[in-house]
Every structure is written in C-alpha cells, then in structure tokens.
Amino acid sequence: MSEKTFSSRCLASALGLYLTVAGIPALGAEHTFDGVYSGQRVLTKGSCPAVDDVSVTIHGETLTFTNSALKKFVVGFFVRQDGSFDEIHTDVDGDTVHVVGRITGDVIEADVDNPPCEYHWHLKKQ
C-alpha cells in the first residue's frame, strides 16, 4: 500500500513539475502585445471627424485610448495569442464601442464601431 502511495506522489510531483515548466513560456507570452501604439483613425461610416490622431497603450488586460475627444479612456482588453481581438465596451450611459482587429508585429489594424460613426485604426508600436 505504501509503495502505491509513494508511486502516486512521484507521478503527481512529476506532472506538477511538467505543467509548471510547460506553463512558463505561456506566462512570458501573456504580455507580448504590451506597449504604446499611435497613428490615425480614418472615418469609414457616419458624419464624424474624417481623420483623427489616436494613441493606444496596452498593458496586460487593459487598453487605454486617447484621441481628440477622449483622454486616457480605459477598457478591458483581451488579445488572443494570434494577436486577434474582439471587444465590446458599454459605459454607464449605455453607449457602446466595438473594437475588432489584430496586432501583427508592431502594427494594430482594427475596425471600431462607435455609433453613430465607424473608423479604421492603423497604429504602429512606438
């Protein structure tokens, strides 16, 4: 009985060590997309400003957005390992912003639906 318990503990320890070591690269990759990105948003639909400067800071699961109308607007942000994202944020007044796009290398390409207007972002990591 004690040999069986010892064997089970060894197996459990080995499995725990394996999972810990296997998880280390994933932890390091968790914040791969962190940084400051800037560029412009270009109007694709609606009657809002046609072009506007945009700055985005990604840190962990947070995106901080600044343009001519909003300063340091913070939303939850979850980037998949392939760089894609699809976020909907609703503020206390019921206004929504839908951001869908991808980070490839040091560039964010995204479409942003912020009724009554829609924009395309092209932002480069600084």
Can you give the pLDDT at residue 109? Answer: 98
Q: Does residue 10 sit in the same domain as residue 72?
A: no
How confident is the model at residue 35, as a pLDDT? 97
Same-domain pairing of 25 and 44? no
In the prediction, which pLDDT does 12 show? 38
The mean pLDDT of 81-90, rounded to a whole number, is 94
Q: Nearest 5°: phi and psi at 7?
A: -65, -40
| Amino acid at the residue 25 | P
My answer on whether 54 and 10 are in the same domain is no
Structural domain harbouring 118: 35-125
Asked if the model's pLDDT at residue 107 lies above 90, the reply is yes
103 touches 79 (CB < 8 A)? yes
CA 74/CA 21 separation, integer angstroms: 34
User: Quick one: 54 and 25 in the same domain?
Assistant: no
Longest dimension (CA), the chain: 77
pLDDT tens-place string over residues 25-81 = 444 455 789 999 999 999 999 999 999 999 999 999 999 989 988 899 888 999 999
